[in-house]
Every structure is written in structure tokens, then in C-alpha cells.
Structure 1
Amino acid sequence: MKKYHYIFAGSGLSALMTVYQMVLSGKFKEKKILLLDADSKKNNDRTWCFWEKPNGDYEHLVYKKWNTALFSDINFTRDLHLSPYQYKMIQGLDFYNPIFEVISNEQNIEFLSQKITHFTEENDGVLVETETEKYSCDKLFNSILNPQEIVAQKEYPYLQQHFIGWKIKTKEPVFDSEKATFMDFSVTQKGNTRFMYVLPFSKTEALVEYTLFSKELLPEKEYENEIRDYFKKLGITNYELIEKEQGAIPMTCYPFWKKNTKNVVNIGSAGGWTKASTGYTFRNASKKSKELIAFLLTENDFRKFHKKTRFWFYDLLLLDILDRKNHIGSQIFSSMFRKGNPALIFKFLDEETSFIEDIRVISKCPKIPFLQALVKRIRI
């Protein structure tokens, strides 16, 4: 049985970011590291978007960026001027390929395409079992999410940001390539929080996604029918479907960190690294991966790796509202973006605002639903 210092259960975004930061630090060259994942990451299986100031850590991987974004509902449309931020997009393979190239040049790091079936913590480390082999390690980084664990409890709501997106090429120029559609709530809500999301790459090419923040997924044809209806609204009649993508991202304030043990740390969505109120993951994972590397250089007990902030509580109140009154999601986001400062809102969603700035953003939201959610949480 092979022994490693570190094993990564899963090689998704957060695992690859963490290993990449290990390499960049230059301080883990003596550590034997293994990544285990049944998926070899050879497909362009997803798109990550995030807002960030220019020249970020992964700037060299950005496929497209926008300085302006559009927000709409049935009552108004507003161009969001994002400065000093930009809205950025990275495609799956544009991330996987260069990160794996960096990893492959490190003699101490291995990747094996194997499915993990079980892991068990022992006194001096962790035993990891795949369908074909067993491995042991000092520390395990687990990014395999078990949704049933969250569904089984009732204290913390569990919603999903779920979507289907079509990447298309039109015959006629219909898109403004310099403006992303951040949220368009003008689509029928049908008792949920539903919006369209458009990332234009040129005047004739774009990714168009139908997205919901809700508990249950829809039949595939319902997402796609809504996309077709939206094409009619945009005047798109002649197009080529280039690629499809779909996903379901957990939105929850479930305290994943309580599952951390001395030798096992949960990362990525399995560790609560997804921003609970929006479903955005890339920027959070980038920050958390750096924090985790700094932690490893000074600490040895993963139970200490967590800091709960006031932003966790803000997210919890929003999810409490959407859990009980999913239909008012568009009202909440619209009230925030109608007159709010876009840069300040994005700074707030990045959890980088002062408390006074928090109040400036929160004060734009409908007060009664949040007060009701606050009272209910205090009583709990």
C-alpha cells in the first residue's frame, strides 16, 4: 500500500487550486502528493465566472472579460458599470490544461484516474480506498460532496443554483460583446427565483443560460424551452448550437467545517467554499486555497481551519427567505441593484466590505422579509 503525505479526494477546482498554490509556494517539494479522481478532466465541462479587479492570480487563463453588465427585471433595465472590477470568464479546459501541466512537472505529485469508494481516519493518518487500490496518507483533502448529509438536516436550508446553458453562434449580429447580462429577471418567475444569464463573446457568439435559485431541479426540456423563448425575445431565429453545459451548485450555510477532523479537511463545495447566497465559487476557492496553504505551514490540526464571519449570517438570512418564499428572489436582487452602487455590491458579495458598507448595501433590500428571517433565527 502506497503512503503519501497528502491525498486529494477529487480533483475539481478547489483541489487543483490548492495543489497549484502548493507548487507556487515552493514549500511542499518534499511532500508526496496524490490526486484521485475518476474524471481525468479532459473535457470542457464547465465555465467559471467571477468579478475581480484587473491582473488577478488567474488572469492568464481568462477567456473573456467585461467592464459592463446588464441587470433587468420586468420593471427596469440598468447597465452596471463595474469599475474597478471586471466580470471575467474562464473555460474548463483553459483552467485544467495549464494547471495539470504545472503539476505534471513536479516529481512529488501524482494524478490517478480512480474512483474513491471510502476513506477512514486512523490515529496516525487516513486510509483511502478506491475501486481498485488502497492508499494511506497523513492528511486528506476531501472535495466529494454528500448532498444527503445536508438534505437530512432541517436547521440550514439547502437550495441549488441550477442551470442549462447553450453556447450558440447566430447568423446575424445580435449581441453586445462588451456587455454581459448578469441577471435578467424579466422571464416568468413561476413561483421561483429565475433569470437569464448571457455571456457574449462576439456579436454573433454567446453562452445563454437559464438559471434558478430553488430547491428542485426541472426537467431538461423546461430549461431549454425557456432558452428558446428568450431567443425569440432577442430576435434570434437562425443559430447554430455549438455546446451545452448544465450544473447544480449547492447554496447552503450548512456548517461543513464541523465535519473537519485532525487529519481530514473538507474543501470546495464539500467544505462550504461556494458562496452560499450566489452560488459563485471561483473567487472564494481562490481565497480559501491560499488560506489553507498558509495554515498548513503553521498548523497540524484541520479542526482549527475555519473562521465564521458576519457574511455567513447574512447569507443564512437570505437563504432562509428564499427557502420559504422563493418567489421574492427577483424582488430582493432588483431592489439591491436598482439604485445601489455596483462596485460596492460586488465588494460586499466578495465579503470585503466594512460593516458600514454592509449597511449601505443591505439597506437597499426589502426590510420586512429580512427582519422576519432575523427574528426567526434569533428564536432558534
Structure 2
Amino acid sequence: MAIYDYIIVGAGASGLMLADALGKDPFFSNTKVLILEKDGKQQNDRTWCFWETGEGHFAPVLHKSWNQIFFAGKAYSEKSTIAPYTYKMVRGQDFYDAYLERIKRYPNITFANRTVTGITDKTTKVAVATNKETFTAKKVFNSAFDYQKLLQQDQFPVLQQHFLGWFVKTAKPTFHPDRATFMDFSIPQNGNTRFMYVLPSSETEALIEYTLFSKKVLSQGEYEDALKLYLKEQLGCDDYEITAVEKGNIPMSCFDYNTFNSQNVLHIGIAGGWAKASSGYTFMPTFKKSKQLVQFLKTDRPLHAFLKKDRFWFYDLLLLDILDHDNSQGRVIFEQLFKNQTPQKIFKFLDEETTLWEDLQIIAACPKLLFIKALLRRLF
């Protein structure tokens, strides 16, 4: 059986972004790549959102974009234009279709429908066992995530960004098509960090998500009751049809994901800690990490040398420590942040592109005592 240079386990966002980045880089034109995916990616199983300036890389698969956002807390709310940024949505099926079609054009990349049952780094090669046969590669990139490994440690808090979203069609005009509701904390918090997230595609159609940053998920009924109440009381809408449902759960942790990696096996995407720990945003961080990884591979260094901690990791850790210690503080933190800083500065900070001086401005906009206490707990 042929030995591949690289095997990518999983054809989700991280796997396909990495494959595409390898495929279009002439440096890897003679590199044999195999993608293993257990299904054919024929379902619209998720929606990704992100912000960026300009047209961007994902214009061909863009479903909707917004030039304004709305934020609401308990005592503060604001509608804001976000130029030069645009808030954007990509549907999973559109992304899969476009990327799988693109990857077919790369002669050095092969796709196979297999269920991976085991990965073993044998120092000089990696064996990838599947439901049909075992493949061999020099290096493996694994996007399969084992949530239980995070729960087996107590050094770093582990929260979840969990949500239920309804795609709704209303009988009367209800939404502002050019304005996304980024976070609406005006809803009951019940001791947690809870907000609504509304992405309208027209005056009568939108995705509405009930989202929490907390340790434990809710029952299905609790999510549904909150969505019904928001539609009725906040949006004044009783007459609507649910056209599709989206449910998700993203880990929020500064856990050292590098403990999963070895010389020749690297976890990618959510499994590799590529999601932004403090916000749960995954799509654009994964795109950036994929590009960085391709450049790293040209150095031929061990894969466990790829991940590096920086000051943004520590900022995320402090926020998660606060929410782990008192999960009700999320609304206070985000409300003060959006009240005292512009969305543009906040987006730049979340993109980890701010200077140290700009970082200090963001930190100064937040409740200082909460972060000082979190810092002291972490140091002592």
C-alpha cells in the first residue's frame, strides 16, 4: 500500500482549509496527501460567522453579510456600523461543496470515505487504522475531537459555548436585514452568561440562536422556551415557521492542547485548540492557523513545536477563570466592554492583532476588579 506524506483526518473546516492550502502551494506539489472522512459532507450541518475587512477569501461561498451590529446589555444597548469590517456568514454545505470541488483539481490529494478507528505515531511513520484498512503516512493531522480529555484535568477551566438556533420565517416584517444582533444580554441570565444572537437574511427570515457560555448544557426544552419567549416578547412575533434547526457545542478552554500532539501527529481545528477560547469563534482562526501551519511544515520541524502560547492566550485564560468562578459575570464584562470601546477595536482584539497599548485600552474598558482578582488567583 502507498505511503502518504500527509494524512488529514476529517473533512470539516480545518481539514479542507489545510488541504486547500497545501494543494495550491507549489512547494507541496509532489507531496502525497490523503483526506479521510467518514461521510460525504452532503448536509448543511452548521453555519459559520466571522468578521473581516475587504472582500476576503470566502466571497465565493458567502451566504450573507452585515455592515451593522446590535449589542444589548442590561442597561446599555447600541446599534453600530462596523466599517471597515463586515460581519459574514458561510453555510456549511456551500463551504463543503466549494472546497471539495476545488480539492479534486489537485492531483496530489486523494479523498476516501473511511471511519478512522486509531492513530499510532511509530516515530518514523504514523499508522492510521480505519474500518476497512490501515494507511501509513509520514505525518497526520487529526481533527477528531475527544471532549473527555479536557474534563480529565483541573488546571484549566473548561466551559462550553452551547446553543440552539432556529431558522425562522415570520408572517410579518420583523428583522433588520442589514443589522446582525451580535449579543443581546437583555434576556434573563439565571446565574449564567446567556445571550441571543440574530442573523437576518431578510425582513422575514433569520437565524436566531440562544447561546450560553457555561459548564453545563440545558435540556432541549429550556433552549426552545427561551427562543419562543424572545420571539414573542423582544421581537413581537407570534406567527412564524421554523424552517431549520441548528445545535452546537464548542469547548472554551485554555487547556494545553499540545499534550495531544506528538512528533508526527498534530490535532487541528477545535481538536487542536484553534477555536478562540474566550469567544468560541472558530472559522477565521482556523483559516489563519491553516496558513501558518503550511509555512511551518516547510521547516520540517516536529509537529508538537507548532503551537505557541502568547499574551492573548493569557487574556483568554483570565476571562475563562472569571466565568468559571462566577458564571453570571459575563453580561457585566461584555456590557462594559461594548459601552467603553468600539466594535472595531474589539474585533481587532479578538483577532489578536492589537498592539500592547491597544490591549491595555481593552482591559481598561472591562471591570478591573474582576480581572485583578482572577490574576491574583492564577498567580497565587
TM range (shorter): over 0.9
Question: How far does the alpha carbon of each residue in 1:291-338 deviate from its partner, in whole angstroms, 9 at most, with x for none?
Answer: 000111222311221221100000000000111100111110001001
Q: Which amino acid aligns with 1:70?
A: F
The reply on whether 1:348 has 2:353 as its aligned counterpart is: no
Equivalent positions of 1:75-94 (< 5 A) are 75-94=75-94
Displacement of 1:71: 0.2
The reply on whether 1:140 has 2:140 as its aligned counterpart is: yes
Question: How far does the alpha carbon of each residue in 1:155-195 deviate from its partner, in whole angstroms, 9 at most, with x for none?
Answer: 00111100010001111111000000000001100111000
Displacement of 1:41: 1.0
Provide the C-alpha distance between the structure 1 equivalents of 2:13 and 2:247, rounded to a whole number of angstroms. 16
Provide the C-alpha distance between the structure 2 equivalents of 1:355 and 1:296, rounded to a whole number of angstroms. 29
Provide the C-alpha distance between the structure 2 equivalents of 1:123 and 1:211, rounded to a whole number of angstroms. 43
Q: Which amino acid aligns with 1:252?
A: S
Partner of 1:3 in structure 2? 3
Q: Verify the 8 A CA contact 2:23 2:108 in the aligned structure 1.
A: no
- Say how many residue pairs are matched: 379
Partner of 2:299 in structure 1? 298
The reply on whether 1:313 has 2:314 as its aligned counterpart is: yes
The reply on whether 1:240 has 2:241 as its aligned counterpart is: yes
SS at match of 1:63: strand
Q: Which amino acid aligns with 2:166?
A: W
Provide the C-alpha distance between the structure 2 equivalents of 1:115 and 1:212, rounded to a whole number of angstroms. 32
Q: Verify the 8 A CA contact 1:253 1:315 in the aligned structure 2.
A: yes
How many percent identity over aligned positions? 47
Query: More displaced, 82-91 or 310-319?
Result: 82-91
Provide the C-alpha distance between the structure 2 equivalents of 1:162 and 1:10, rounded to a whole number of angstroms. 22
SS at match of 1:230: helix
Q: Verify the 8 A CA contact 1:2 1:134 in the aligned structure 2.
A: no
The reply on whether 1:284 has 2:285 as its aligned counterpart is: yes
Displacement of 1:121: 0.6
Partner of 1:323 in structure 2? 324
Q: Which amino acid aligns with 1:130?
A: T
Q: Verify the 8 A CA contact 1:51 1:88 in the aligned structure 2.
A: yes
Q: Which amino acid aligns with 1:325?
A: D
Partner of 1:371 in structure 2? 372
Query: More displaced, 68-77 or 208-217?
Result: 68-77
Question: How far does the alpha carbon of each residue in 1:50-97 deviate from its partner, in whole angstroms, 9 at most, with x for none?
Answer: 111012111221111111100002212101221111111100011100
Partner of 2:185 in structure 1? 185
Question: How far does the alpha carbon of each residue in 1:184-227 deviate from its partner, in whole angstroms, 9 at most, with x for none?
Answer: 00110011100000000000110000000001111111101110
Equivalent positions of 1:1-380 (< 5 A) are 1-233=1-233, 234-379=235-380
Provide the C-alpha distance between the structure 2 equivalents of 1:268 and 1:303, rounded to a whole number of angstroms. 15
Query: More displaced, 188-197 or 111-120?
Result: 111-120
Q: Verify the 8 A CA contact 2:123 2:263 in the aligned structure 1.
A: no
SS at match of 2:289: helix
Displacement of 1:130: 1.1
Provide the C-alpha distance between the structure 2 equivalents of 1:40 and 1:357, rounded to a whole number of angstroms. 44
SS at match of 2:28: coil
Provide the C-alpha distance between the structure 1 equivalents of 2:68 and 2:228, rounded to a whole number of angstroms. 25
Q: Which amino acid aligns with 1:299?
A: D
SS at match of 2:318: helix
Displacement of 1:258: 3.4
The list of structure 1 runs, each at least 4 consecutive aligned residues, that deviate by more than 3 angstroms after superposition, is none
Q: Which amino acid aligns with 1:108?
A: N
Displacement of 1:347: 0.2
Provide the C-alpha distance between the structure 1 equivalents of 2:328 and 2:39, rounded to a whole number of angstroms. 36
- The runs of 5 or more residues in structure 1 that have no matched partner are none
Displacement of 1:26: 2.8
Provide the C-alpha distance between the structure 2 equivalents of 1:90 and 1:40, rounded to a whole number of angstroms. 19
Question: How far does the alpha carbon of each residue in 1:87-145 deviate from its partner, in whole angstroms, 9 at most, with x for none?
Answer: 11100011100100011122221222211111101121100011221111000001111
Provide the C-alpha distance between the structure 2 equivalents of 1:12 and 1:354, rounded to a whole number of angstroms. 32
Q: Verify the 8 A CA contact 2:51 2:88 in the aligned structure 1.
A: yes
Provide the C-alpha distance between the structure 2 equivalents of 1:26 and 1:362, rounded to a whole number of angstroms. 42
Q: Which amino acid aligns with 1:57?
A: H
Provide the C-alpha distance between the structure 2 equivalents of 1:37 and 1:159, rounded to a whole number of angstroms. 28
Displacement of 1:149: 0.9
Q: Which amino acid aligns with 1:290?
A: K
SS at match of 1:275: coil
Q: Verify the 8 A CA contact 1:8 1:15 in the aligned structure 2.
A: yes
Normalised by the length of structure 1, the TM-score is 0.98
Q: Which amino acid aligns with 1:328?
A: Q
Provide the C-alpha distance between the structure 1 equivalents of 2:191 and 2:80, rounded to a whole number of angstroms. 27
Provide the C-alpha distance between the structure 2 equivalents of 1:74 and 1:368, rounded to a whole number of angstroms. 20
Provide the C-alpha distance between the structure 1 equivalents of 2:168 and 2:79, rounded to a whole number of angstroms. 23
Q: Over the residues paired in the alignment, what is the CA RMSD in angstroms? A: 1.1
Normalised by the length of structure 2, the TM-score is 0.98
Provide the C-alpha distance between the structure 2 equivalents of 1:190 and 1:111, rounded to a whole number of angstroms. 47
Q: Verify the 8 A CA contact 2:252 2:277 in the aligned structure 1.
A: yes
Q: Which amino acid aligns with 1:308?
A: K
SS at match of 2:322: helix
Displacement of 1:2: 3.9
SS at match of 1:15: helix
